[in-house]
Structure formats: C-alpha cells, structure tokens
Structure 1
Amino acid sequence: MSSNSLDTNLQVAQRVHAIEPFRVMEMVKAAALLRRAGRDIISMSVGEPDFTAPDIVADAAVAAIRGGVTQYTESLGLPELRAAISGHYAATQGLDIDPRRIVITAGASAGLLLACAALVGQGDEVLMPDPSYPCNRHFVTSFGGTPILVPASFEDRYQLGAHHVHERWTARTRGVLVASPSNPTGTSMTPAQLRDMLAAVRARGGFAIVDEIYQGLTYDHVPVSALALDPDVITVNSFSKYFNMTGWRLGWLVVPDSLVPVFEKLAQNLFICAPTIAQHAALACFQPEALTIFEARRQEFQRRRDYLVPALRELGFGVPVMPDGAFYVYADVTALDHPLRGDSAALSMALLNDAHVAIVPGDDFGVAAPAQHVRFSYATKYERIEEAVARLARQLGR
C-alpha cells in the first residue's frame, strides 16, 4: 500500500471538523507572498508586539542555560516565579494573591486549555461575547462543550454583560469565558459591568474564566482585575503581550485554592511543566529596570492608539467606542467610500493588494456582522502606522 493510499484511510477526530481555519494566518500568508514578490507590506494584522524581551530578560535566559537549570520544574511552576507574580499583583493592584493559587502555564493558550479541561464537560454550554478571540470557542469544543456566541454591541463595549447572562443562561449553561481588554476590540469591561456580570454567573452556580492577558496594556484608567471582585473567578494571564515574550510560551492562571490540586494533576499529565528557561528568564521581568522599559512601551502603544483611532475615523471607518487596552481597533467599514464596504474579507484583500496594508476581516471573531468589521493591530512602529494611513487615504480617495 502506498503512503498516499494509507493517508486517505486515516480519519481525524470529529472535533477537528468543528474548528474553522484561523483566517488571520491566511492574511499573513497572502502578505508574505507579496513581500517575496518585492512589495513593501505594512502589517497591521498580527497581534504580536513589535518589541521583544529586554536585554535583562534575555540575559537571564542565557544564564539559566549556561548554569544548567534547564530540567523540568514543578508542574505548577517555579516557586520563585509564582511568588514574583503574587508580588506584582500586590504592587500594581493592591491584591493579596497567595502564590499557591498561581499556576504557571505554557502560554495563555495552555492556561485556557487547562481551565476548560477542568470545568467544561460533554454538552456544557459556555457563554462568550461575539466578537471574541476565535481560539476561545475551540478550547471549549475540544472538551466536548458548546460555545454560545452572544452578540455584544458597542453600547456593551463589545463585552458580555449581566443582561446577556440573564437572557442566555439555560439548564445546559456551565459558565462564561470573557476577556478584558478584548481581542479584537481592545475594549475593557467597566468595573461595574464586570462586577455585575460575575455576580449574575455566581448566582447561577456557574464558573467564570476571565482572560486578562492585555490588562498590563490598559490606557485611560487603572485596570481592575476580576480577582478583586470575585474570589472564585479563574483568571488567565501571559508574559506575551505586556512583557513582550510571545515566542517564549509562558503564562499563568490564578485559580481558587480548592482547585489547585485539580489544575496540578491536569498540568502534570497534559504539559508536565511550562518551559523552564522561559520561567527563569521571566523572573527578570519584575526587576525595576525591566518594569521601567515595559511602562515606556505601554505609553508608546497608547501614543499609537491616540494617532490611529482619529485617523481611521477621518478615513470613514466607524470606531464607536475608543479602545482602552491591548493594541487593536475593531472598525466598522460600512460607511467607507469603497465598493467592497459590505464585504470585509474582500475589502481586506483589496487593501492588501492595492494599498499593501495588511488588516484582518471580522470573519475570525464571530458570526454577528463580521462582514461589517475589520481589525487593525497597532503593534507596529508609529512611522509605519502613519505610512499605512497615508496609503489607505490614497486608496479611499480621502
């Protein structure tokens, strides 16, 4: 039997068919093809900081390698790192988080997988806002659950509110999965909105998973963690965004004390531990020198936002609510002076081919009016953002 005929007889698990392609990566591939053809493409598509880990963090990684501290850690993570994260919560938000409750994970994605493995059963429904990060619904389906996408308008800051919980909770609903600030919208839940939503879930005996990976990149106000509002909430965080360590694959969870043994058992069996070298490097993130760098970079992201949002509005993109975190703008294209304004996927491809600016259509992020929206990422240099706006202006006749 040939290898080809063998391949045709292999059947993948049914869950694979429920996972749609990650369309942002399709846009990345199309942009790469144009670059190889010699085009100057400005990427405003991928949600990855253009900054990388500071030297103090890189040096800590090298020291770990040369020092031979590269073997497995405890499944819950290095005790020193868990303590450092606890101290960071105390210093930045005045929260007293027992290091025992902190679970170090192989990125926020691994944290979300662990949370869904612990809490989502076959047939359980999990509410999440539409639009939201596409992988969240796939984490739920991977463990037999059913993601319920709840349309959230700009009046809701594109977030899940208590009224959504009241309206959409059924006998099959097990909990909610939200992000604040959010990808793709860059909007946070207000403290009152978050408090009321968590209270509505708690009243129904459900779980709440709150993704806070962009909370370090918050502008205009002091962020409020869900940990300050509900002792039973599970939060997800990461070293990828604020700490600029995307490829290092390191994140963490904060879980209720009673669930620590559950998460430890799952981590032991599913991941063994997070990358050891990355854990040792991350300890340096909490040094004053590194924190000064991260704060300067946060301010630079805010400078980019403050330029980009008014510029997009001037071009005819609808941005009804100012994004207050992360590095995304979720923009309505229906008022643009362009023949493809009713089809964000076709529009995005046209702008890539004609203006050489890569953005992401709304298809990835849900089913509530995706054709009307695109996502801009401003995780690229300020001067390149200015050039992108100039190119779009020429293309749109503004």
Structure 2
Amino acid sequence: LRQQAPSAVLVCDEIYQGLQYGQSPQTALALQADNLVVINSFSKYFGMTGWRLGWAVAPEWLVEPMERLAQNLFLAAPTLAQHAALAAFGEENRAILEQRRQVFEQRRDFLHRALGELGLGVGTPPDGAFYIYADIGDHTDDSLSFAAELLEQMAVAITPGADFGEYGAGRHVRFAYTTDLPGLERGVERLRTFLRAGAG
C-alpha cells in the first residue's frame, strides 16, 4: 500500500476484537506503521451496545486533525458512559468477558452445524463476531422477501443480504447468534418448518 499510495492512511475497524474463536486475538497495531489508524468500540466485545463509545489509536501526526474533527462532530462522551467504560476494562470483568466469548463460540458451533444440516450454504465457521452469512440460493434469489416472510410467518428475524451490498445479496442472509441456545434451537426448528413448506 505504501508503495502504491504513499500518502494513504489505512483505517482498520477492530470492533470485534476479542470475539475470535480458536485463535489468539490479532491487531493491525502489530504492523507498527505510521499511516495506520485502528478504531474500536465498547459495543461488541464489552457488550455495551447503545453507549456509542469507542476509541482510536493513531500516529502522532494525525492526533490533532482527528481532535479537530471530533470537536466538530461531538463534544464528549457522557460522564456515565466514561465511568462504565473504565469499569469494563477492570480485571474482574476479564473472566466474565471470556466466559461470554465461549458461550458465543458454542452458539456459533450449534447454528453453523444446524444451518448446514438444513441445506444452507454456510462454508467454514466464522472466526469471530456473532454472525453467520448463509447462502439461500437453492430457495430464492430475493433475500429481502425471504427475511420478511420468515419474520411474518415464523417470528424469526434475520437480516437480508441486500443490507450488505450488491454482490450475491439476493441469495444471502445473515443469522445472528446473539440469543441463548434454547432460542436458537427454536429458531432453527421454525426455519426448518418454513423451508419444508417451500417458502422463499
């Protein structure tokens, strides 16, 4: 990148850092590059969705321009959110966060296997986050209608691929494994019924 675009800045979104499975957490900061900005958030790993609080790691030469930009976009995070963020970094929370990561991994394993057994294309299990992007092309090429019908008929919410761009969007949907295992089991059974009825 540096050779092709000497003035380019590489911005890495590491919002799911810590939610990796079967591997040590990786960070772009290991590159130690002076054109690298890493952004992160308390939303995913720390489970603080809605607090709208995050941070950036940037080279010294970018700090002042980033501060000016931030001052024009917002003033400061609320005091309560700042205290909650400090508490999230507490050592006593590490065991809780690791336990939660393991629960996500168990849910991932269950849902990946179950979707594959239903004939949906799921490829290899995701290495991180808490979503599975599945190919529903054997049933439809309209992910938006598929998701809407599944919600209306079976009360199962998924996200149509159309929300993530154009390439293959109509034949893909995203499943989240953010609910508990019994909820996932119920959802899979409802999806099985939906598919058997020829939906899509």
TM over 0.5: yes
Q: 2:175 corresponds to which residue?
A: 376
User: Distance in 2 between the 1:293 and 1:366 partners?
Assistant: 35
Shift of 1:250: 0.7
Which residue is 1:293 aligned to? 96
The amino acid that maps onto 1:344 is: S
Aligned twin of 2:58 = 255
Q: Distance in 1 between matches of 2:154 and 2:32?
A: 47
Aligned letter for 1:373? H
Structure 2 residue corresponding to 1:304, chosen from 94, 102, 107: 107
Aligned to 1:360: 159
- Aligned pair 1:275/2:78, yes or no? yes
Equivalences for 1:200-239 in 2 at 5 Å?
201-203=1-3, 204-205=5-6, 206-231=8-33, 232-239=35-42
Superposed displacement of residue 202, structure 1: 2.0
After superposition, the C-alpha distances for 1:130-150 in whole angstroms (9 at most, x for unaligned) are xxxxxxxxxxxxxxxxxxxxx
Q: Is the 8 A contact 1:342 1:372 kept in 2?
A: yes
1:1-398 equivalence runs, <5 A: 201-203=1-3, 204-205=5-6, 206-231=8-33, 232-336=35-139, 341-397=140-196
Structure 1 residue 366 displacement after superposition:
0.6
Contact map agreement 1:332 1:374 (CA 8 A) in 2 = yes
Amino acid in structure 2 at the alignment position of 1:380: T
Tell me by how many angstroms 1:214 deviates: 0.5
TM-score w.r.t. the length of structure 2 is 0.92
Structure 1 position 372, deviation (Å): 0.8
Query: In 2, distance between residues paired with 1:376 and 1:230?
Result: 35
Q: What secondary structure does 2:2 align onto?
A: helix
> Percent identity among equivalent residues?
52
Question: What letter is aligned with 1:308?
Answer: L
Deviation at 1:230, TM superposition (A): 4.2
Q: Which runs of 4+ in 1 moved over 4 A?
A: none
Query: Quick check: 1:250–1:275 contact (8 Å CA) kept in 2?
Result: no
Whether the 8 Å CA contact 2:132–2:176 is kept in 1: the answer is yes
Aligned with 2:132: secondary structure? strand
1:389 to partner: Cα distance:
0.5
Residues 303-340 of structure 1 deviation map (CA, whole Å, 9 limit, x = unaligned): 1001000100111110123211110101100124xxxx
The higher radius of gyration belongs to 1
In 2, distance between residues paired with 1:223 and 1:289? 20
Distance 2:51 2:106 in 1: 26
CA RMSD of aligned residues (A): 1.4
- Unaligned runs of 5+ residues in structure 2 are none
TM-score relative to the length of structure 1: 0.47
Q: Distance in 2 between matches of 1:261 and 1:349?
A: 46
Q: Which has the higher contact order (CA 8 A, sep 6+)?
A: 1
Q: Is the 8 A contact 2:108 2:125 kept in 1?
A: no
Q: How many residue pairs are counted as aligned between the two chains?
A: 194
Give, as a single letter, the amino acid of the residue that structure 2 aligns with 1:381: D
Q: How many angstroms apart in 2 are the aligned matches of 1:370 and 1:272? A: 38
Provide, for residues 114-144 of structure 1, a one-character-per-residue CA deviation record: whole Å limited to 9, x for no partner.
xxxxxxxxxxxxxxxxxxxxxxxxxxxxxxx
- C-alpha displacement of 1:376: 0.5
Distance across 1 between alignment mates of 2:78 and 2:109: 36
Q: Is the 8 A contact 1:305 1:327 kept in 2?
A: yes
